[in-house]
Amino acid sequence: MKTGERWVLKKVKHSRPYARMGLRASAIKASAIKVVLLGCICLMAACSRSEFFYGNADWLLAQYLGTFVSLDGRQKELLASELERLHIWHRQTQLA
For residue range 68-82, what is the model confidence (pLDDT) as tens digits?
A: 888 899 998 999 899
Domain-located, residue 58? yes
Looking at residue 54, what is its pLDDT? 78
Domain-located, residue 7? no
Q: How high does pLDDT run on average in the chain? A: 76
Domain-located, residue 4? no
Domain-located, residue 28? yes
Residues sharing a CB contact under 8 Å with residue 18, sequence separation 6 or more, in sequence order: 24, 25, 28
Domain-located, residue 1? no
| Residue range of the domain that includes 64 | 17-93
Classified as helix, coil or strand, 85 is: helix
N- to C-terminal Cα separation, the chain: 80
Contact between residue 83 and residue 61 where contact means Cβ atoms under 8 Å apart: yes
Counting the structural domains of the chain, the total is: 1
Domain-located, residue 6? no
**pLDDT of 59 above 90:** no
Domain-located, residue 26? yes
